[in-house]
Amino acid sequence: MKLKLPFFRKKSAVVAVLRLDGVIGTSGSRLRGSTLSIQSQEARIERAFKIGRLKAVALVVNSPGGSAVQSALIAGRIRSLAEEHDLPVIAFAEDVAASGGYWLACAADEIFANEASIVGSIGVVSSGFGFQDLIARYGVERRVHTAGESKATLDPFLPEKEEDVAHLKETQEAVHDHFKDYVRSRRGDRIDAESDELFTGSFWTGPRAVELGLIDGLGDIRTVMRERYGKDVRFVPITERKSMLRSLFGRFGTSVTLERAFDGLPEQALGTLEERAVWARFGL
């Protein structure tokens, strides 16, 4: 009698998928979309590196940038855990990985993008409005009292001062230098570290980004990971966990008064405009 041996299925490789999608900002930002911050992403990042049989962590980046500090904090946490667990991190740019979005992508050991992806924008920008002529037209007098001569720097309701702009430029240069140093440290000899073109704040599509060494190749997460870890590779999306109370309220609903429904509406509108402006810099 012939004995049948038990069938042992080969265990497939596991890849954690961490999606970083949205403008980068603080948790208290006016932005109403999916804002990325270390506070909102910390738990997800930690969970991404704790999955069993993990072969790699994939970052799916779709961000036009935002806060330099939050970009650095998120990227730093990813790098710290990658080194602690000795795991490769591979980034995939979708529509855009620019400015702070490219900072996040540089937390990976390799970066891939679509041919139409927008990559780069290694620079620093500050923007605002000047309302001093508007309030003067309506006879509004601006009164500002400070302890410290620089506390009202760049007040949008006061005329711009040359010394204030010079100070802002100095601050921007310091942040830009930090950004450039990080890109150089992460990309190494894959880029021309002394290139003037790379660090002007300009951005490029996928093929040119490959030529410049900003990314390692063209490809999507499914194709690249299947080639690397086999056709049976298993992707595990790292989603946001909702608390029990939040889930219950979301399921059964809450009573909302008309006053509460319109509370903060102007601030929400301004946040939406700010968020749209960040994406619009890249034609999106």
CB neighbours of residue 141 within 10 Å: 7
Torsion of CA 265, 252, 29, 65, to 10 degrees: -110
Q: Averaging pLDDT over each range in 126-135, 139-148, 150-159, 186-195, which range is the top one?
A: 186-195
Report the predicted TM-score, pTM, of the whole model to 2 decimal places. 0.78
Token pair of 142, please? 């601006």
Q: Report the alpha-carbon distance of residue 19 to residue 41 in Å, rounded.
A: 10
Residues 6+ apart with CB under 8 A from 232: 10, 12, 13
**Residue 261 to residues 73, 106, 150, 229, 255, Cα–Cα distance (Å):** 34, 40, 39, 49, 10
Superfamily of domain 14-121+202-280: 2-enoyl-CoA Hydratase; Chain A, domain 1 (3.90.226.10)
pLDDT at residue 37, rounded to an integer:
94
Question: How confident is the model over 27-71, as pLDDT tens digits?
Answer: 555 444 568 999 999 999 999 999 999 999 999 999 999 999 999
Mean pLDDT of 135-152: 70
272: pLDDT confidence band, cut at 50, 70 and 90?
A: low
The one-character DSSP state at 119 is E
Judged by DSSP in three states, 221 sits in helix
pLDDT at 92 over 70: yes
pLDDT at 135 over 70: no
pLDDT at residue 30, rounded to an integer:
47
pLDDT at residue 184, rounded to an integer:
95
Mean pLDDT of 15-23: 96
DSSP-derived pairing of the beta strands 234-237 and 14-21? parallel
Mean pLDDT of 112-124: 93
Q: Report the alpha-carbon distance of residue 135 to residue 170 in Å, rounded.
A: 30
**C-beta separation of 86 from 122 below 8 A:** no
pLDDT at residue 165, rounded to an integer:
75
**Least confident among 90-99, 125-134, 197-206:** 125-134
E strand or H helix that includes residue 85? helix 68-85
E strand or H helix that includes residue 10? none
Within a 13 Å sphere around the CA of 225, how many CA atoms are in the beta-carbon half? 26
**C-beta separation of 111 from 215 below 8 A:** yes
Amino acid at 171: T
Left if phi > 0, otherwise alpha if psi is -120 to 50, otherwise beta: which for 188?
left
Mean pLDDT of 235-259: 59
Share of the chain above pLDDT 70, in %: 69
Where is pLDDT greater, at 24 or 10? 24
Question: How confident is the model over 178-235, as pLDDT tens digits?
Answer: 999 999 999 999 999 888 789 998 999 999 999 999 999 999 999 999 999 999 999 9
Where is pLDDT greater, at 284 or 104? 104
11: pLDDT confidence band, cut at 50, 70 and 90?
A: confident
Residues 6+ apart with CB under 8 A from 200: 122, 123
Where is pLDDT greater, at 273 or 59? 59
